[in-house]
Amino acid sequence: MKLSRNTNAKKEIQQLISSSKTALSHSEIQKSLDGLCDRVTIYRVLERLLEDGNIHRTVTTDGVVKYAACHSCEIKHSHNHIHFSCLKCNSVTCLDNVEPIFKLPDNYQVIEMNFTLSGLCPKCI
Amino acid sequence: MKLSRNTNAKKEIQQLISSSKTALSHSEIQKSLDGLCDRVTIYRVLERLLEDGNIHRTVTTDGVVKYAACHSCEIKHSHNHIHFSCLKCNSVTCLDNVEPIFKLPDNYQVIEMNFTLSGLCPKCI
DNA sequence: TCCATTAATGCAACAATGTTGCATTAAAAA
DNA sequence: TTTTTAATGCAACATTGTTGCATTAATGGA
């Protein structure tokens, strides 16, 4: 893997995602950064942070890609958890400790999973 | 609900989705129809077919929206099943009979679920 | 069969999202 | 300090999805 440089944009974006309770979309990040760097740079930084395993991504039921840092997996970084997407306030939250159980037919090799539930979050219920 | 008219575009698109083993994206449908109708019409027809409950939609891990008809839920139309997205051939398949089990914290009200596994399908393994 | 209603369509224009090429800047290591 | 090259900014473009409006045509009733 290529060397990763500790740039301003990268620091800010990582910081933003890490300190957010909910997963953030590219456009939300862009708004927060308020001109700190170019749109394209945000895409590239996100790509890099993903590669480095510092963040992970989810897709909401309506196709919006969101980025989040795990809070409860300091030791072993596992992304096989459920995300909850609130239809009212649009927040996406990691349900870090919920692990779904399912039985797959043979001959499928799973590499990644994306499990998103939509509905109303505790705040909006 | 408004009356649904049985138009050419609607028939073709429904037919296309119903006869496909894998879920189809808007662009895939557009290619198949080969100029039968406008891009916008396809969006609107898909919207209508969703409303009418004739098809359902999933989002792949990389944010591509796909449409599918259920094959094994003639009686009770339930969409709470897993979709498998092959990273090699890009096909998205409904695993109609796999129902995931999970235990959610209180105070979450689930309305919809989207559960997609990515990896290699039997053909590509 | 003809007519009235209005769902559906096509087209143009737009908005949002994501990608690529290239010259320039600036971290990190020597 | 100098060298290397990851990262950036900018322009241009591609893709995806949305909206308004005039026109077309499916459907039900006369």
- pLDDT of residue A60 exceeding 70: yes
| Span B27-60, pLDDT tens digits | 999 999 999 999 999 999 999 999 999 999 999 8
Give percent of chain A with pLDDT exceeding 70.
91
Q: Which residues contact A36 (CB under 8 A, 6 or more apart)?
A: A8, A9, A12
- Reference B80, options A118, A106, A98; nearest CA is A118
- pLDDT of residue A77 exceeding 60: no
| Span A108-123, pLDDT tens digits | 999 888 889 999 999 9
Looking at residue B59, the DSSP 8-state letter turns out to be E
Chain C nucleotides close to protein (CB under 7 A) are 6-13, 16-21, 26-29
Q: 3-state class of B18 per DSSP? A: helix
- Judged on CB neighbours under 10 Å (0-12, 13-18, 19+), A25 is middle
B116 near B59, Cβ under 8 Å?
Answer: yes
B84 near B117, Cβ under 8 Å?
Answer: yes
Q: Which of B107, B117, B118, B124 to mutate to test the interface with A (most CBs of A within 10 A)?
A: B117
Low-confidence winner among A75-79, B78-82, B119-123 (lowest mean pLDDT): A75-79
| Span A30-45, pLDDT tens digits | 999 999 999 999 999 9
Whole-number Å distance, CA B42 to C1' D17? Answer: 11
Alpha helix stretches (DSSP H) within B1-125:
8-19, 26-33, 39-51
Whether A100 and B98 lie within 8 Å, measured CB to CB: no
pTM of the model: 0.87
User: Cα distance from A8 to chain B (closest Cα, Å)?
Assistant: 27
- pLDDT of residue B70 exceeding 80: no
Whether A61 and B59 lie within 8 Å, measured CB to CB: yes
Q: Which residues contact B67 (CB under 8 A, 6 or more apart)?
A: B17, B23, B24, B25, B26, B29, B46, B49, B50, B55, B56, B57
Neighbours of A36 (CB within 10 A): 13
Whether B116 and A114 lie within 8 Å, measured CB to CB: yes
Angle between helices B39-51 and B26-33 (to 10 degrees): 120
Residue A76 confidence class, pLDDT cut points 50, 70, 90: very low
Which protein residue has its CA closest to C1' of D18?
B40
In the chain, the amino acid numbered A94 is: C
Residue B121 confidence class, pLDDT cut points 50, 70, 90: very high
Strand D within 7 A of B21 CB: no
Mean pLDDT of chain A: 89
